[in-house]
Chains A and B, each alone.
Chain A
């Protein structure tokens, strides 16, 4: 026999009752009521820690049992078995396993799951979407950051034709080179999702020869080929959403750091992919991958990221925040093959 509080669902007055089991039926007895309810007509609330449990009767009334542990023997007699989730939620062993599996799942989702899903989504979106996204970005750039190119038209056509003539690994891609003056952006090149590649005058001037410019264009074409713009959009949105959900209740500050670090890692991976495509393009045209390395070195120096003045520890820190892999690593990855395959004689542009 177990004491409980009975509420009839029509008023807030509790009635003291006792519960017992009779032939697989629940017997509820109090001063003003006595009823027998068969086990399958009772709605039992889940066991949640030491919280009170309710036994809901068909007419809308219910019994509240303050101590769920005391209810267990009665439930056995009624023939009730707990769901597996119920049992898992009570066990430290299950909780420990759940914790490990959860961490493993999160890591797997970050490393494989999300990049794969983003890649599949990006590959399947129609080209109209790419155009819309690109138009928006280009408009912003032209309105606020870039100016008309100072290169004369024959030079522009020369560069375009020179790049058009190169074999593209993995087949042809729609692309177009747009020439601009970089202003505050300095020596740079950037790829828009729909294949338009913006090439800045300062980068053209910085290069020793056209092969280096083609190397950079190849890297940018790699971004187009892999649809990195879209991939990063999908990946960073999800990273932001998950960080907010995980830490948001505690502090907005805690959300910022993981979001930045996780997005930076994704960004570095995409840059490495673009480097690989650029290197493949150079090799497909019998050019040395060192060209891309050389150009990276020049860009590094032009943007004041030379190796002088920074201690090793400081560099490590910034590497984690950087959206691009550390220049030294990229140059090494690209110059490496140059040692194995000696450069052919340089063709005049």
Chain B
């Protein structure tokens, strides 16, 4: 009998994502670029954005190598002009006529899926790791189906269908992403999204009921007191109640958001694969809440200038929660065919950089 072949070699060890940036370093880069941006009335902001992306990409390390960002500032600048044009049209058309606003809104909805697909393509094409580029190949038709069909459906069902929309969106994004010749895949089901959203929705509804209830009660008491005293209701008191209600809402959102983000990130990345390699995400709501709260207070206290440190802290925590579980040697990835051509930029020129943060 031939000796049994060795058992399959044990897979390589898990690789944790690491962020090595420092707030002090990033502050210096950030403030110099900010000054140049304001002196050039915003034009330089495209170069500032490229630097920011490069700082965060290059300080993200995985298995001994770092990521890189190759976005062209001119392409970003073009995209920003278009974004400003759209924003102005959206803001000023209601001043002209409601019909124009309606038309503008419809136009924006019509091109939104295209813009978002472009932003996925731009972002991935300009990202690389170990010299190999990422790529997005999602068809345009599916983008329209996901955003207009599912997005609209989510809206008209008062967000009851939002988890469905989110699952479809992530499926579209991850199933059509590539690294070199390898493909990402996504296998989380809609029911899992509903599970992740459940607690968040319960908390959100509870928060809304308590805030609106408390606000209404306070308003009613104030009106009653005024009526009994024979004095017209003090507008300051009403305004005060409104300010407190709105403030309580934003504080509530600040508390619920980390729960939502951590559950969703874990669900999405635990069910994403690159070829045979898996990911593990262990983001926890409490540490994230701590970071958000302290960032919020420090940004408030410093009138916004703490932001570079805040961004670095968040990036450091986010990276630390993601681990790659390699199924085989990470040296085996191969570049996709079109990468052999040098990036001439003509393909890149038609991309827009449009950050949707989903």
- Please tell me which one of the listed residues B32, B307, B311, B332 contacts residue A94 in the complex, with CB atoms under 8 A apart: B32
Question: Is A8 an interface residue, CB under 8 A from the partner?
Answer: yes
Collect the chain B residues with CB atoms within 8 Å of residue A309's CB.
Answer: 234
Using an 8 Å CB-CB cutoff, how does the interface string of B327-353 with A read, 1 for contact, 0 for none? 000111111000110100000000000
**B236 contacts A314, C-beta separation under 8 Å:** yes
Q: Is B152 located at the chain interface by the 8 A CB criterion? A: no
**Set of chain A residues within 8 Å of B307, measured between Cβ atoms:** 249-250
Task: From B55, B235, B250, give the contact of A253 (CB < 8 A).
Answer: B250
**Quick check: A46 and B54 within 8 Å, CB to CB?**
yes
Given contacts A11-B332, A109-B38, A250-B295, A51 and B59 within 8 Å (CB-CB): yes
Q: Cβ of A64 and Cβ of B27 under 8 Å apart?
A: no
Within 8 A of A (CB), among B51-102: 51, 54-55, 58-59, 64-66, 68, 87-88, 91-92, 95-98
Residue B129 lies at the interface, judged by CB distance under 8 Å to chain A: yes
Chain B residues whose CB sits within 8 angstroms of the CB of A246 once the complex forms? 304
Contact A52 B304 (CB under 8 A): no
- Contacting B at CB under 8 A, from A1-20, are 5, 7-14
Q: Is the CB of A254 within 8 A of B300?
A: yes
Known A9-B131, A102-B34: A250·B296 in contact at CB below 8 Å: yes
Minimal Cβ-Cβ distance residue in A for B312: A49
Contact A7 B131 (CB under 8 A): yes
Stretch at the interface among A82-90, A207-215, A216-224: A82-90
Residues 257-293 of B at the A interface (beta carbon under 8 Å) = none
**Are A95 and B31 in contact, with the CB atoms below 8 A?**
yes
* Nearest residue, chain A, Cβ from B98: A136
Query: Whole-angstrom distance between the alpha carbons of A7 and B333 in the complex?
Result: 12
CA A11 – CA B92 in complex, angstroms? Answer: 51
Task: Report the minimal beta-carbon distance from A70 to chain B, rounded to whole angstroms.
Answer: 15
**CB contact between A237 and one of B54, B68, B88 (< 8 Å): that residue:** B88
For B, the interface residue count at a CB cutoff of 8 angstroms equals 66
Q: Which of A49, A62, A314 contacts B55 (CB 8 A)?
A: A49
State the CA gap A92–B27 with chains docked (Å).
9
Q: Is A106 positioned at the interface, with any CB of B under 8 Å from its CB?
A: yes
Whether the Cβ atoms of A12 and B29 lie closer than 8 Å is no
Is the CB of A185 closer than 8 A to any CB of chain B? no
Q: Determine whether the beta carbon of A89 is less than 8 Å from that of B29.
A: yes
Q: With a CB–CB cut-off of 8 A, which chain B residues contact A95?
A: 27-28, 31-32
Cβ-defined contact, A8 with B131, below 8 A: yes
B253: A residues at CB distance < 8 A: 252
In the assembled complex, B213 has its CB within 8 A of some CB on chain A: no
Smallest distance from the beta carbon of B20 to chain A beta carbons, Å?
7
Interface flag for B232 (CB, 8 Å): yes
> Does A342 touch B at the CB level, under 8 Å?
no
Q: Which residues of B contact A101 (CB under 8 A)?
A: 35
Q: Are B250 and A49 in contact (CB under 8 A)?
A: no
A117 to chain B, nearest CB (A): 10
With both beta carbons as reference points, the residue of chain A lying nearest to B298 in the complex is identified as A250
A94 contacts across to B, CB distance below 8 A: 28, 32
Complex alpha-carbon distance, A307 and B334, angstroms:
78
Q: How far is the CA of A85 from the CA of B32 in the complex (A)?
A: 8
The 6 sampled A-B contact pairs (Cβ below 8 Å) are A11-B331, A48-B25, A49-B59, A90-B28, A98-B32, A251-B296
Which A residues fall within an 8 A CB radius of B? Answer: 5, 7-14, 45-46, 48-52, 54, 60-62, 64, 85, 88-92, 94-95, 98-99, 101-102, 105-106, 109, 132-133, 136, 233, 237, 241, 246-247, 249-254, 256, 304, 309-310, 314, 318
3 nearest CB pairs, A to B: A49-B25, A253-B250, A7-B131
| Known A10-B131, A13-B130; 9 more pairs at CB < 8 Å | A9-B339, A48-B54, A51-B21, A54-B68, A89-B33, A98-B34, A102-B34, A247-B299, A252-B253
